[in-house]
A = this chain, B = another copy of it.
Amino acid sequence: MGGKEEIRIVDIAAMAGVSTGTVDRVIHNRGRVSAENTAKVEKVLREIGYRPNLAARALASNRKEFPIAVIAPSFDGPGYWSKVGEGMARALSELSQYNVAVDLLEFDQYDSGSFPVRIPGEKQYRGFVIATLFRHATEMLSEQLDKAGIPYVYIDSPIEGQNDLAYFGVDAYQSGRVAGKMLLREVGPEAEILVAHIRFGREDISLQMKERLAGISDYLAEHGHRGLTCELELDPDDPGSLETLSQYLSEVEGRAGAVVLNSRIYELAGMLEQVAPELREGVVAAGFEAIAPNVEAMKRGSVGFLISQRPELQGYDAVKALGDFLLHGKRPQKVNFMPIDIIIPENVDYYNNYKL
């Protein structure tokens, strides 16, 4: 495991009977090499499977800058995107030996007009990470980048037929199916299952949420459950919503499931904690994303399980893949779905410890 008898550029030059400069030109295909010599060098390269010394490479080319732009919703606050940002920061620290720097160009996830459809001009960005929340805008920007020959990586949801270097994201439909299965196991085939919508202001139901919902519904329908029986709009700041929830719970009497499609199951948990204990007793609340308030609510016993798709890993992989491509020409696998993690009170303690 892990021997050491590295072949250097000088060795290759000697083997091919040329100078190191020529080898260098071939390796980085900068041209200005005769077809004959190119062939000779490439032959040697292939035969020995040359692996450059990355330390030396980094040292020698440390004047080069690699600014990367990330186009995504704000990383502020305790939400999903902040986790993506954590992963990016970690990737960046691993790349910190090289001159990679990341600029976050925020857009408003509730306003497609805030998404930049032209290449931002501030810097000469060498690569982009793009959150694909707005499909059309993403496609327009991608077209610009294609023309300019700048590589870009997608995160969040996939878009078919694009020239993205790679995609890292989640399969929202499948994570919905997982949630459906767990929910069915928790509450049984007879129980009511409620979809609670907890929104901010003008916020609309997103594509991801629709897919999750479809996944849950399909799973339930395929397994002898009569499906999601009720949808409620709830506002944690509105006492009327608490009333609505109590009302509903008293009607269903007995076991029930409740699911929130965005990452704000903790709000529903908070509301459940305020209704009469006998009403909430048989209720299993299920949500998405292992963000801090959700985990806390689970530890208080108010959330039954969470489904998470490793947002940190998504951010980490996206930046890492782009960096490795830019620095070392390493091509990543094109489509990468995150694992779908099931988090229950019994395993939550060992989940968030881990940075991946």
A positions within 8 Å CB-CB of B: 1-4, 53-56, 58-59, 62, 65, 88-89, 92-93, 95-104, 171, 174, 177-178, 181, 185-186, 219, 313, 336-342, 344, 346-347, 350-351, 353-354, 356
Contacts and interface: CB of A to CB of B under 8 A. Distances in A.
A303 B354 CA distance: 27
Contacts of A336: 353
B313 A4 contact: no
Interface centre among A1, A99, A101, A313 (most CB of B within 10 A): A1
A121 B185 CA distance: 56
A181 B344 contact: yes
10 contacts: A1-B92, A2-B92, A2-B101, A55-B97, A185-B185, A338-B354, A339-B350, A339-B354, A340-B347, A342-B347
A89 B178 contact: no
A347 B54 CA distance: 37
B59 A56 contact: yes
Contacts of A171: 350
A88 B2 CA distance: 11
Contacts of A339: 341, 347, 350-351, 353-354
B58 A347 contact: no
Given A59-B56, A336-B353, A347 B1 contact: no
Contacts of A97: 53-55
B356 A313 contact: yes
A181 B103 CA distance: 45
Nearest to A56: B59
B337 A1 contact: no
A353 B341 contact: no
Nearest to A176: B346
A116 B97 CA distance: 39
A351 B336 CA distance: 11
A344 B178 contact: yes
Contact of A337 (B185, B340, B353): B353
Contact of A100 (B2, B54, B337, B344): B2
Nearest to A95: B2
A346 B174 CA distance: 7
A351 B65 CA distance: 36
A65 to B, nearest CB: 8
A274 to B, nearest CB: 27
A193 to B, nearest CB: 16
A4 B178 contact: no
Contacts of A353: 336-337, 339
A276 to B, nearest CB: 24
A347 B4 contact: no
Given A2-B101, A100-B2, A101-B3, A341 B338 contact: no
